[in-house]
Structure 1
Amino acid sequence: MSSPVLALSAGQIRRRPAAFAGLAAALLLATAAVTLFGSLVAAQVTAPRSVARAPVAGPGVLVIAGAFGEIAVLVALFTVVNALGFTLRQQHRDLALLRTVAATPRQVRRVVRAQVVATVLLAAVPGCAVGLLAARAFLAALQRRGMAAPGLRIPGTPVPMLIALGVALLVGLAATAAAAWRVTRPAPAVALTEGTGGARPTGVLRPLAGAAVLAGGVLLLRLAATRPAGELDKAAQAALLGSLVLLAAVALLGPLAARALAAALGLPVRVLVPRAGWLADANLRGYAARLSSAVVPVALLVGLAGTMLIITSTAERAARASGAMTSVTKASDVWLRQAELGLLVCFAAVSTVNTLVALTADRRREFALLRLVGATRRQLLRMLSVEAVLTTVVGVLLGAAVAVAASGAFSWAVRGTVVPAMPGAGCAWVVLGAAALTVPGIVGTGLWATGGSAVESVGVDRG
């Protein structure tokens, strides 16, 4: 790879540290998740026959690594794709400018690929180390509960780490190819115009892809709802996968859904907070792609956490009513689901904070322009506070819709009704957690972004 490409790639990383830090954190978590569950599989596969066949309480390490790792790894990769798409959207104008000064589409794609490869390599080493430590801690926890053979050990083979690195590179490069196509497909002048506008046209492919993914999620929920009474574990797994697919559809249809919800919520906000509310509502509706980037991680957090909490509560209530225990309601598997929930919440929380911080930091020039035309710093922070609340509400509503749909399908299979058992306290904590991540993340970054000299900030390009 030529040195100009490397120099341009390094320059973009230096100019947007917040966006690339978020991508690096997502890649670190993804490589850690693949290493964690891959190491568990390697421990079982490479164990002596006497250890591997030792009786254990529960489904066994391979089943645990496969069933629970499947969801965790998919969520981790979903977080990577979302973070990568956001990072590349932040560079849209810069990449379009490269094309106006005679850079070819191939050269632009090479710049983007170099950025992704560099970020993956930087995140892979600590990610694999974290995954290896987590695998040892998780295996020890399983052994304490009798769910893994006492003699089982995490092997020293580098295969799980190499697989994690390969998966991260594959997903990163595939997502890069799709995202870079938007910059390199149109003529340079058209790409530059799209990069300077806030409300870019969504196009046709994204809504069509979103509709197709939405249909796939509905089919998975139908599969969950039609499982017989003796297959509630499979119903729970189908419902969890269905919720993840629905969240992918939310990510694809995000600009449309977020704009519709923001428009519905905007009127009462304008009435309650006339000045700051009007400006916040105009910003959110005018920049649908930016709003979508902000609400998707919040919806991911609320949707996955809510689905798992409600499914577990519904299964436990059904078990108390019938006296039949399943692996959804056994104490050992409830602990497993709590551990998985903690891992998924970690992914979603990191994605939420990274995205919101990078989004708000990227608006420094916008805030400086508002200050030059008369807005005070206090007014801007009030506007950001209203935006943060609206962003939280939109993300919570989208995530809650996914959680209700997935848990309703599971409830139909368990209880014959689409109304699940709602754990009120748990759901309230999920909503409060989303608000605690979103509002301070936006307002706290806004304190930094609105500081300094407005004249100097206007002279600095966004980044």
Structure 2
Amino acid sequence: MSAVPSLALGQLRRRPAAFTGLAVALFLLVATTTLFGSLFAAEATAPEAVRRTAVAGPGPMVIAGAFGEIAVLVAFFVVVNAIGFALRRQHRELALLRTIAATPRQVRRLVRVQLLVTALLVAAPGSLAGRYAAHHFLVALQQRGMAAPDLRVPGTPLPALVAVAITLVVGLAASAVAVRRISRIAPAAALTATSTEQGRTGAPRLLAGVCALAGGGLLLRLAATRPAEELDKAGQAALFGSLVLLVAVGLTGPLAARALVALLGAPMRVLMPGTGWLAQANLRGYARRLTSAMVPVALLVGLSATMMIMTRTAEHAAGTTSATSATDVWLRQAELALLTGFAAVSTINTVIAVTGERRREFALLRLVGATRRQLLRMLTAEAALTTAVGVLLGAAVAALATAAFSTAATGSPLPSVPATACGWIVAGAAALTVPGTLGAGLHAVRGPAAELAGGTRD
């Protein structure tokens, strides 16, 4: 299909908002990989005398490698989510292409072209932002004695080129995951799937979820058995373990979502008899949609709480008077800021996309008598339930990860929990989810209900 590039560009021009979340995720990936690539290059290209300068902590090259691999893993998670929603916004068009003889290979090629164009659009600004951040991050390292004073970020464009290449690889891998369903099913089924949701979670997905749970458990066991002098390795193993467990949450999410909504929805039905019942019914009936919204919340809460609690536990284990301990704490705070940024972008992208694609559903409810105010109350209840489910799952992952880290650091599975900071994490998750849902809902209920219900308006 020689028209694939023009079709791909046409979708980008017609639905720019659908690709905004993907563009932001790819921009962050280019910027962060350029940042850490520049730090790596700074030490790799420095004169021998500069490289031999004694520094506190692991040094810029090790820091860049550790931060970079975590950033790429989290970015893959976020990009899969973002491109999945970009595809869902054009699901009907892709299904129609399948019905008029477009092959799965052609559909995958169309999606790849869209991703490549989006990635190339953000490559230059992302590289510039990453290089700017590298200068400031290196200065911060030097101020804390973790980098040689004479170390400089090199002027070579190689880190930016490598960052763009990594972004393209991550994006193409994410697109292969996201487009898999619509490109493999029969054309007629693809068209039907635009208005229905599969009722059961497939066996391969459940098997992958069980494997992820097992892998996360092994990583946490590795973290718990590290000696106290290898606290950094214990922290990295615990963090990787939390990431793998969050992947397991995403894979097994529909099952957990239905159970938690049934549990948490009971008090909401009492407090809001009509709206609460409708919100709970919507979330239980569309468990995949709920999973899409709750997983970024779990990611935000799980990663942020894990890093925050590990930092406090390490402070109590080593004491804050040690210069090395202070640098370790600062590094964990920097890593927390990086991971929180990715998770926050994923949360905002998801809640806006999930709510925005329900315009026809809202229009049908309005046609049978629901008012805009009632719909917004229903969305508020749904957002509160979604936040609660995501927070609970994220907190469970953080509890397991930090218990393993605390065992290595102190010999006890009970970590030091900064209650106020964790409260702010939960408040931040709610502040991202509820206003984002209501803002997208206000936009989604605009316009004549009859036209929206009939699909004559996008």
Q: Same fold (TM over 0.5)?
A: yes
TM-score, structure 1 normalization: 0.94
In the alignment, structure 1 residue 441 sits paired with structure 2 residue 440: no
Cα distance, 1:70 vs structure 2 = 2.5
Q: Which amino acid aligns with 2:204?
A: L
Q: Distance in 1 between matches of 2:457 and 2:293?
A: 18
Query: Is 1:205 paired with 2:204?
Result: yes
Distance 1:156 1:125 in 2: 15
User: How far apart in 1 are the matches of 2:229 and 2:443?
Assistant: 56
Going from structure 1 to structure 2, the CA distance change for 1:90 and 1:211 (only over 3 Å counts) comes to: farther
Partner of 1:424: 419
> What SS does structure 1 have at the residue aligned with 2:362?
helix
Where do residues 12-27 of structure 1 align in structure 2 (5 Å cutoff)?
12-27=11-26
CA distance in 2, matches of 1:254, 1:16: 29
Over aligned residues, Cα RMSD in angstroms?
Answer: 1.9
Offset of residue 84 of structure 1: 1.9
Q: Per-residue displacement from partner, 1:98-144 (whole Å, max 9, x unpaired)?
A: 11122122221111111111111112221111111111110111122
Measure, in 2, the Cα distance between the counterparts of 1:341 and 1:137. 17
Letter in structure 1 aligned against 2:235: A
**In 2, Cα distance between the equivalents of 1:6 and 1:235?**
47
SS of the residue aligned with 2:185?
Answer: coil
Aligned to 1:408: 403
Cross-structure match for 1:453? 448
**Structure 2: any 5+ residue segments left out of the alignment?**
none
State the Cα distance separating 1:273 from its structure 2 match.
0.8
How do 1:192-341 residues align onto structure 2 when only pairs under 5 Å count?
192-320=191-319, 327=324, 330-341=325-336
Change (3 A) 1:326 1:367: same
Report deviation, 1:186. 2.0
Partner of 1:384: 379
Does 2:99 align with 1:100? yes
The offset of 1:200, in angstroms, is: 4.7
Alignment deviations for residues 26-72 of structure 1 (CA, whole Å, 9 cap, x no partner):
11111111111011000111112222222222221112112233223
User: Relative to structure 1, is the Cα distance of residues 346 and 413 closer, same or farther in structure 2, using a 3 angstrom cutoff?
Assistant: same
Letter in structure 2 aligned against 1:395: G
- Post-superposition shift, 1:431? 0.4
Tell me how far apart the structure 2 counterparts of residues 120 and 455 of structure 1 sit (CA, whole Å).
38
Change (3 A) 1:434 1:305: same
Q: For residues 193 and 410 of structure 2, what CA distance do their matches in structure 1 show?
A: 51
Shift of 1:18: 3.1
Secondary structure at the counterpart of residue 237 of structure 2: helix
Tell me the distance in 1 between the aligned counterparts of 2:354 and 2:304: 24
Supply the distance in 2 between the matched residues of 1:160 and 1:191 (Cα, whole angstroms). 41
SS at match of 2:194: helix
Unaligned runs of 5+ in 1: none
Aligned runs of 1:98-247 on 2, under 5 Å? Answer: 98-247=97-246
The one-letter amino acid of 1:38's match is: G
For 1:348, the equivalent position in structure 2 comes to 343
- What amino acid does structure 2 have at the position aligned with 1:361? G
d(CA) in 2 for partners of 1:461 and 1:268? 39
Q: CA deviation at 1:458?
A: 2.4
In structure 2, distance between residues paired with 1:351 and 1:12: 22
Letter in structure 2 aligned against 1:233: D
Mark the CA change 1:375 to 1:15 in structure 2 (over 3 Å): closer, same or farther.
Answer: farther
Letter of the structure 1 residue corresponding to residue 149 of structure 2: P
Q: How many residues align?
A: 458
Deviations 1:179-216 (A, max 9, x none): 32311222111222222203454322111111111111
What is the distance in 2 between the residues matched to 1:362 and 1:297?
Answer: 17
How many Å apart are 1:384 and its aligned residue? 0.5
Query: Corresponding residue for 1:366?
Result: 361
What percentage of residue pairs aligned between the two structures are identical?
Answer: 66
Q: CA offsets per residue over residues 361-412 of structure 1, 9 Å max, x none? A: 1112211111111000000000000011011101101110110000011112
Distance verdict in 2 for CA 1:413–1:326, change over 3 Å: farther
Does the CA-based 8 Å contact 1:18-1:358 persist in structure 2? Answer: no
The answer to whether residue 390 in structure 2 is matched with residue 395 in structure 1 is yes
Give every structure 1 segment of 4 or more consecutive aligned residues whose post-TM-superposition deviation is greater than 4 Å: 323-327
